Amino acid sequence: MSSQPQSGLSLLAVPGLLIRELWAYRGFIWASVQREWRARYLGSQLGLGWAIIHPFALILLYTLVFARLMHPALVGHSGPFAYSIYLCAGLLTWNLFSELLGRSVGIFISNAALLKKLSFPKLSLPMIAVLSSLLHYAITLGLFLGFLLLIGQFPGWALLAAVPVVLTLIMLTLGLGLLAGLINVFYRDVEQLVTLVLQFWFWLTPIVYVQTILPDWLRALLALNPLQPIIQAMQSILLDGQLPNPLNLVYPVALALCLLALGLRVYQRLGPELVDEL
């Protein structure tokens, strides 16, 4: 089986071919995710227990600091944990985005030796990053949901709406990460640029603040940020137990599809040259 889409195929045919190739290598992808997780905690006394301890400590820290020490107020919410839930909902979503994008931009370079030795679909590498990041996110979200259940603020059936929201985030990040990762093979400054952009991007997203405190002109400008409606949707689900307005997700979904299509087009053109450049 060829690991590269043929250059003569139309863009509409490429996704189907790539999906079939990735499915054929599903065993390799899942084994790589497991191997990566074992390697991350290899040699430590608690092993995979650290995958639970780290997010648990993070949630506990934000809860104690903001709910018990700083007592920040959140307009429209009188509960003692309102701001902590608002903050954690945004941070968990952001961490999934930043971790996956940060890994994707250097995914081909960091696996150069593997690409030179083995023949497999190169898109397996971004999929490994997606599954690994999702696994970490699922553990952290599960712990956070346990906290919400403990304090009596579990979102209920509204939690099901998180599935399409997270899927939108994954598509957006995968499209952007694939583009950045491919370009980074030929221009190594891209990885450093993405790291810098993420630092500014974080503060241009309503995570530690609410957008209502911003002037109208700045709110209109930040509306171009595709992460804003995604994170607000997660905050609405986890804080208020309400379904997000699906119309608010039209923009990030459309952008995600465009980025994925562009990423596949660039992959179709540059994929055969990756190994030689590496």
**Residue 269: both structure tokens together:** 């053109």
The pLDDT, as a whole number, for residue 3 is: 47
Q: How far is CA 27 from the centre of its chain?
A: 23
Instruction: Taking each helix axis as running N to C, give the angle between helix 124-150 and helix 82-105, from 0 to 180 degrees, rounded to the nearest 10.
Output: 170
Strand partners, 2: none
User: What pLDDT is attached to residue 7?
Assistant: 46
pLDDT of residue 44: 63
Please give the DSSP secondary-structure letter assigned to residue 78.
-
Per residue, the 3-state secondary structure of 220-238, as one string, reads HHHCCCCHHHHHHHHHHHH
pTM: 0.87
- Give the pLDDT of residue 77: 76
Q: Tell me, what's the pLDDT at 8?
A: 46
Q: Which pLDDT does position 243 carry in this prediction?
A: 92
Question: pLDDT at position 63, please?
Answer: 75
pLDDT tens, per residue, the chain with 278 residues: 444 444 444 555 556 677 788 888 888 888 888 888 777 766 666 666 767 777 778 777 777 776 666 666 677 777 778 888 898 899 999 999 999 999 999 998 988 888 888 777 888 899 999 999 999 899 899 989 998 999 899 999 999 999 999 999 999 999 999 999 999 998 888 999 999 999 999 999 998 888 888 888 888 888 899 999 999 999 999 999 999 999 999 999 999 999 999 998 888 888 777 777 76
3-state secondary structure of 76: coil
Closest of 86, 113, 104, 54 to residue 232, by C-alpha: 86
> What angle, rounded to 10 degrees, do the helices at 250-270 and 227-235 form?
130
Instruction: Classify each residue of 68-78 as buried b or exposed e, where b means 16 or more C-beta atoms within 10 Å of its C-beta.
Output: eeeeeebeeee
DSSP string, 153-213: ---GGGGGGHHHHHHHHHHHHHHHHHHHHHHHHH-THHHHHHHHHHHHHHHTSSSSS-GGG
Instruction: Tell me the sheet residues that pair with 89.
Output: none
2's tokens? 């060829």
Q: Which of 159, 140, 128 is nearest to 56 (CA)?
A: 140
**pLDDT on residue 83:** 85
* Cβ count within 10 A of residue 45: 7
Cα angle value 217/218/222 (rounded, 5°): 125
The pLDDT score that the predictor gives to residue 208 is 86
- 271's tokens: 């994929």
- The answer to whether the Cα torsion of 46, 52, 58, 59 is positive or negative is negative
